[in-house]
Structure 1
Amino acid sequence: MDTFWDWFGLMIWWFFLVMYLVILFQIIGDLFRDRHLSGWWKAVWLLALVVVPFLTALIYLVARGRGMAERHAERLAGARADTEAYIRGVSGASAASQISDAKALLDAGTIDEREFAALKAKALA
């Protein structure tokens, strides 16, 4: 590497290599997560990825890209629903019980009307 442009060209090649590896691992992960694709088709896709990797990756993204995106979106929605259910289960208090606790604090004089409104808005959010 004698010049800046040699170094810059090397960095471009490294970028494309890393991007290819990211795409390759996304494809392999999608293949193993797809429940509708038979094991034989998975084996064919993996064999093609080994023999002709760039062409196979391009064909996979064109042929199955939409399904790949849909499966990814479903997986994210499921993870979000599981996280929200876990948070609701761990918090242990419903919005009504939080508001009644805040009302009890207001009646006892511990908090004022402004703090009660803030706690009520937080519980309803």
Structure 2
Amino acid sequence: MDYPLLNIFWTMLWLFLWILWFFLLFRIFGDLFRDDSVNGWGKAGWCIFLILIPFLGVFVYLIARGKGMGQREFQMRAQAEQDFRSYVQQAAAGSGPGPSSHVDELAKLAELKRSGAISDQEYEQAKAKVLA
């Protein structure tokens, strides 16, 4: 119980900085391994530098490649957004005009003809329109 308040503050600060350091280190390793412009030897060199001299390695990486980190992150997010939009469009197109919707339209027309709601001539015109 003999731990002054200021020591608790400093301990919390150092713990926070230590956790922040690991987040930064993971972010750098993630950026390094996602970057296709760096070959395998370059990635290995950066990894060795970051592991053997972590503080200097992180600072040098941020100075040398920091601007590109933001650009690569932006491009990755833009590509993910584009992939999501194209997936949604493809999924929506599956329920829209397509082979399965033609079958559904023809089934509805056949049901209308069978119930007498439309005549044979109207059925043939609508069928030709769907198949066109």
TM-score (norm 2): 0.66
Structure number with greater CO (CA < 8 Å, separation at least 6) is 1
**Which secondary structure does the structure 2 equivalent of 1:49 belong to?**
helix
Aligned AA (1:44): G
- Aligned counterparts, 1:34-73, within 5 A: 34-73=35-74
Q: Please report the TM-score for the alignment, with normalisation by the length of structure 1.
A: 0.69
Q: Report the AA paired with residue 56 of structure 1.
A: G
- Which whole-Å CA distance do the structure 1 matches of 2:40 and 2:87 have between them? 34
**Per-residue CA distance 1:31-58 (angstroms, 9 max, x = gap):** 1111111111111110011111001100
Q: Which digits, 9 at most, give the CA deviation of each residue in 1:70-117, with x for residues without a partner?
A: 1111000011111122222333467xxxxxxxxxxxxxxxxxxxxxxx
Within a 5 Å distance, the mapping from 1:25-36 to structure 2 comes to 25-36=26-37
- State how far apart, in whole Å, the 2-side matches of 1:9 and 1:90 are: 54
1:7-52 superposed Cα distances (whole Å, 9 cap, x missing partner): 1111101111111111101111111111111111111110011111
Task: Could you tell me which runs of 5 or more consecutive residues in structure 2 were left unpaired when the two chains were aligned.
Answer: 97-132
The amino acid that maps onto 1:50 is I
Counting aligned pairs with the same residue, the percent is: 36
Matched residues in 1 for 2:88 and 2:70: separation?
Answer: 27
Which blocks of at least 5 consecutive residues in structure 1 are unaligned? 95-125
Distance (Å, rounded) in 2 between the aligned partners of 1:80 and 1:64: 24
> C-alpha distance in 1, partners of 2:52/2:62?
17
Letter in 1 for 2:15: W
Quick one: which amino acid aligns to residue 14 of structure 1? L
The CA distance in 2 between the partners of 1:82 and 1:17, in whole Å, is 36
2:26 corresponds to 1:5: no
The number of aligned residues is 94
Q: State how 1:63-102 maps to structure 2 within 5 Å.
A: 63-92=64-93
Q: Which has the larger radius of gyration?
A: 2
- Runs of 4+ aligned residues of structure 1 deviating over 4 Å after TM superposition are none
Q: Report the Cα distance in structure 2 between the residues aligned to 1:85 and 1:21, rounded to whole angstroms.
A: 36
Structure 1 distance, partners of 2:70, 2:20, is 18
